[in-house]
């Protein structure tokens, strides 16, 4: 549904987006992540036709956004960082105006009214229908902005920080709304709230300094970046040398103390890639008369992945990429 091929955007000597490529499949929700200044908003503006690229190609719903911008825009809904509201219009007046602009010309006035009422309920702004947009709170402005992006039932939705300024209840409602769009719409979601991506998106694109450093599922990134299987094991160490016992288990490559309490110790175990050592670890502890209190796999959180990929020194042009970059690129071609 969306295909970005070698997209580049330069502002004079500054390269904001540097030769990025990725795909978004039909009905998918894709998280688009990166630190401030990474090039996320520039990429979204190019995809929606608000800004031309310097080089490369962007295809949305089968249409090149540069060669056929009207066709591409007709199939795209866009919520920018600052929702494009008219402060002197009420919410209902504004959405009616947007519906006239975006819905097919053959749409009747009755159908437009019905669509406006339905979309206000769907985005939870119907209780503010008669209030002027200029008098709305930031959270309601965001939701009215989401309503205008959905009003013409687009195939593609590009959402830039859709939950910015919302209270916890509104965040949950908006997150559930975005999840409900899966399958019927293809969604690109940019956000700084990483748990939101983990709960909403199937895949992530992580961009840093204008370059894509990872395109994959969080699970695959965890596996690639950690490089080995990791376990947390908590042992009742009374009467035994747990560290030596764990180190002697075949396949275990490293044992570190994670935490220590009176009578028991938590260890972080690293094992050979693709080797499941859980049964052997449990047997070794029990056979030596120690108590196995807890054992669970250790996985990198999305925050860990994000920080590892975006805080490592990036390679200079022509140099080899960092190990994290290599892992990420490998995942993107899988």
User: What would the pLDDT profile of 183-206 be if each residue is shown by its tens digit?
Assistant: 889 999 987 777 778 788 889 999
Residue 305, pLDDT above cutoff 50:
yes
- Check whether 281 has a pLDDT greater than 60: yes
**Of 139 and 152, the one with more pLDDT:** 152
254 shares a domain with 187 = no
Give the list of residues 6+ apart from residue 325 with CB closer than 8 angstroms, or none: 213, 214, 309, 312, 314, 315
Please indicate, yes or no, if residue 218 is contained in any of the structural domains: yes
Query: Can you give the pLDDT at residue 9?
Result: 95
CA-nearest of 48, 44, 99, 104 to 77 is 48
Residue 261 lies in a domain: yes
Local confidence band at 316 (pLDDT 50, 70, 90 cut-offs): very low
Question: In this structure, are 31 and 101 located in the same domain?
Answer: yes
Q: 249 and 130 in one domain?
A: no
Mean pLDDT of the region 261-285:
88
Residues 185 and 268 in one domain: no
Task: Looking at the structure, tell me whether residues 176 and 32 fall in a common domain.
Answer: yes
Position 324 scores a pLDDT of 40
210 and 246 belong to one structural domain: no
One-character DSSP codes across 89-149: SBHHHHHHHHHHHHS-TT--HHHHHHHHHHHHHHTT-GGGTTSBGGGS-HHHHHHHHHHHH
- The number of C-alpha atoms within 13 Å of 226 and in the hemisphere containing its C-beta is 24
**Do both 203 and 263 map to the same domain?**
no
- Residue 241 belongs to domain spanning: 228-297
End of a domain among 205, 222, 239?
222
65 plus 109 within the same structural domain:
yes
Report d(CA 305, CA 112) in Å as an integer: 44
Which of 129-133, 201-205, 289-293, 324-328 has the lowest average pLDDT?
A: 324-328
User: The domain spanning residue 237 has which CATH number?
Assistant: 3.30.70.1340
Q: Look at the block and give the residue holding tokens 């669509």.
A: 115
Domain end residue (candidates: 167, 187, 222)? 222
Q: Are residues 35 and 142 in the same domain?
A: yes
**Is 306 inside a domain boundary?**
no
Per-residue pLDDT, averaged over 110-137, amounts to 95
329 assigned to some structural domain: no
How far, in Å, CA of 28 to CA of 30, rounded? 6
When divided into structural domains, the chain yields a total of 2
Answer yes or no: is 313 within a domain.
no
- On whether residue 60 sits in a domain, the answer given is yes
pLDDT given at position 61: 92
| CATH code of the domain covering residue 18 | 3.40.50.300
Rounded Cα gap, residues 135 and 138, in angstroms: 9
Give the Cα separation of 115 and 110 in Å (integer).
9
Contact 204, 187 (CB under 8 A): no
Residues 167, 263: one domain? Answer: no
User: Is pLDDT at 322 greater than 50 in this prediction?
Assistant: no
Together in a domain, 189 and 130:
yes
Residue at which a domain ends, from 171, 198, 222? 222
Note whether 287 and 167 are same-domain residues. Answer: no
**Position 103 in a domain:** yes
pLDDT digit string, tens, across residues 3-26:
999 999 999 999 999 999 999 999
Residue 227 pLDDT > 70: no
Using CA atoms, how far apart are residues 137 and 113, in angstroms rounded to an integer? 24
Within-domain flag for 307: no
């Amino acid at each position: 549904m969306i295909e970005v091929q070698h997209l580049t955007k330069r502002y004079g000597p500054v390269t904001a987006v540097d030769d990025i490529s990725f795909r978004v499949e039909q009905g998918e929700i894709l998280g688009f992540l990166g630190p401030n200044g990474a090039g996320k908003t520039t990429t979204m503006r190019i995809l929606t036709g608000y800004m031309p690229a310097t080089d490369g190609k962007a295809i949305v719903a089968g249409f090149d956004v540069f060669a056929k911008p009207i066709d591409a825009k007709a199939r795209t809904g866009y919520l920018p960082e600052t929702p494009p509201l008219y402060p002197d219009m009420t919410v209902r007046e504004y959405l009616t105006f947007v519906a006239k602009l975006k819905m097919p010309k053959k749409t009747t006035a009755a159908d437009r009214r019905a669509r406006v009422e339905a979309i206000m309920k769907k985005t939870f702004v119907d209780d503010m229908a008669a209030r002027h947009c200029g008098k709305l709170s930031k959270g309601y402005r965001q939701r009215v902005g989401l309503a205008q992006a959905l009003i013409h039932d687009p195939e593609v939705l590009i959402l830039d920080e859709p939950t910015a300024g919302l209270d916890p209840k509104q965040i949950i409602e908006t997150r559930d709304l975005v999840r409900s769009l899966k399958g019927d719409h293809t969604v690109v979601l940019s956000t700084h709230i990483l748990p939101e991506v983990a709960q909403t998106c199937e895949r992530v694109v992580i961009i840093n300094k204008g370059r894509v450093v990872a395109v994959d599922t969080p699970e695959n990134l965890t596996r690639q970046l950690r490089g080995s299987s990791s376990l947390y094991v908590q042992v009742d160490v009374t009467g035994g040398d747990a560290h030596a016992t764990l180190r002697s288990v075949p396949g275990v490559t490293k044992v570190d103390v994670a935490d220590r309490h009176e009578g028991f110790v938590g260890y972080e175990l690293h094992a050979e890639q693709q080797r499941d050592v859980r049964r052997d670890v449990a047997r070794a502890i029990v056979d030596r008369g120690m108590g196995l209190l807890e054992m669970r796999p250790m996985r990198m959180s999305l925050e860990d992945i994000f920080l590892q990929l975006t805080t490592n020194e990036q390679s200079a042009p022509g140099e080899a990429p960092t190990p994290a970059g290599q892992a990420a690129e490998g995942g993107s071609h899988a």
